[in-house]
Amino acid sequence: MMSPFFLSILISSVLGLGLAIPSYTCIVMGNLDIIRKKGKLSPTDVIFLAKGIVNLLLQCVMSLWGMIFALSLEIFYIKQLFVFMSTSINFLIYYNFWLTFWLSAHYCTTITNLSYGFFIWIKRIVSNFLSHLLFLTALGLFIVSVPGFWAVNEENIIQSSVNSTNVSVISLYKVFSYFVSATTLGVILPFCLSLLCLVLTSSFLLRHVWRVKNNDSGSTRPNLQAHVTALRTIFFLLLIFTFFCGYQVISFLPSSSLSIVLANLQLLSPLVEAAVIFQASNKLRRIILRRFWTRSWRNTET
């Protein structure tokens, strides 16, 4: 009989895959519809389109991996499959985290209007060269992820011969150095930069609201709904980021109910990001609602 842990992994994998495919298909098709009508996308929509494609691939790979893990451990530990899937998941995760940073940087530089040279430079390249920037980011992370083929393979060799006196200390050091470097570049760095953007954006908005309240009490208040939505989006993406990384830490500890919850949240994190994207983009919501409304109206007419 399947244990509760494996059963929960299987359910989350199937649920995530079944809901993520239509959700991200709507996001991708909605952005393509914007391109067809307007000819170009805003920087926010470009990042949402990239996140839609990356998260759809990530959800498919993670759900497939979860199903294999829950149903057949023999297949799960086939060396070639394990190495390929682990490296693919790592690359997609790293790229998704960096997309979160570029979205946070765009919101931060647009809302705060900081006059420091670094922020002016970030704002200029995000506004004018975002597509090139995303391509270069993907290329750089691909280069970082490719050595994972050999690192994971060598790690398995070391673990399989852990009781042997011939285990190479140099090989173990190389594996450890690679994973520390890849984690720093793919996870820690984008998280810290995104958190910095969140702090700067929230402090600017709080300071702005305080000034309006104290200096302009008799006039019409400015509409800050778009800024609040941007701030909420960054916060939710970083929260998903934290849960995702939390499981990586908890997974090294003995099995517990917390590790089971975090493992399922990790499997469903790409799906949750779809909900965050929908709440952040009014254009996507209008396009999708209009399509569903038109289809339902046609069905009632026929």
Q: Over the stretch 5-22, which tens digit does the pLDDT of each residue have?
A: 788 889 999 999 999 998
How far does CA 64 lie from the centroid of its chain? 18
Residue 50, in any domain of the structure: yes
Residue 59, in any domain of the structure: yes
Domains of the chain: total: 1
The total number of residues shown for the chain amounts to 302
Residue 302, in any domain of the structure: no
Determine the pLDDT at residue 54.
95
Determine the pLDDT at residue 60.
93
* Residue 146 backbone phi and psi in degrees, to 5: -60, -45
Sign, CA torsion 120/126/127/132 = positive
Residue 257, in any domain of the structure: yes
Residue 301, in any domain of the structure: no
Determine the pLDDT at residue 86.
83
Range of the domain at 79: 4-296
pLDDT tens digit sequence for 160-218:
444 444 445 555 556 667 778 888 898 889 999 999 989 988 888 888 778 777 765 54
Q: How many CA atoms lie within 13 A of 155 on its CB side?
A: 15
pLDDT tens digit sequence for 241-297:
887 777 666 665 556 677 777 778 888 888 899 999 988 888 888 877 776 665 555
Most confident of 29-33, 123-127, 136-140, 298-302: 136-140
Determine the pLDDT at residue 288.
74
Q: How many CA atoms lie within 13 A of 220 on its CB side?
A: 2
Task: Kindly state the DSSP code that residue 222 receives in the 8-state scheme.
Answer: P
- Does the pLDDT at position 148 exceed 70? no
- Does the pLDDT at position 300 exceed 90? no
Determine the pLDDT at residue 207.
82
Three-state secondary-structure class, residue 7: helix
Q: Which helix (H) or strand (E) holds 97?
A: helix 79-112
Determine the pLDDT at residue 161.
47
Residue owning tokens 């975002």: 130
222 or 10, which is more confident: 10
Closest to 134 in 3D by CA, of 41, 200, 236, 230: 41
Q: For residue 224, give both structure tokens.
A: 């800050």
Q: For residue 141, give both structure tokens.
A: 């992370």
How far does CA 187 lie from the centroid of its chain? 10
CATH of the domain at 200: 1.20.1070.10
Residue 60, in any domain of the structure: yes
- Give 227: exposed, middle or buried? Use CB within 10 Å, 0-12, 13-18, 19+: buried
Residue 289, in any domain of the structure: yes
Determine the pLDDT at residue 163.
46
What is the spatial distance between Cα 184 and Cα 97, in angstroms, rounded to a whole number?
A: 12
Residue 35, in any domain of the structure: yes
Determine the pLDDT at residue 236.
92
Contacting residues for 162 by C-beta, under 8 A, at least 6 apart: none
Determine the pLDDT at residue 296.
53
What is the spatial distance between Cα 44 and Cα 33, in angstroms, rounded to a whole number?
A: 15
pTM: 0.85
Determine the pLDDT at residue 162.
46
pLDDT tens digit sequence for 35-68:
888 878 888 999 999 999 999 999 999 999 889 8
What is the spatial distance between Cα 294 and Cα 134, in angstroms, rounded to a whole number?
A: 35
User: CA–CA distance from 52 to each of 83, 98, 243 (Å)?
Assistant: 25, 14, 20
Q: How many CB atoms lie within 10 A of CB 90?
A: 21
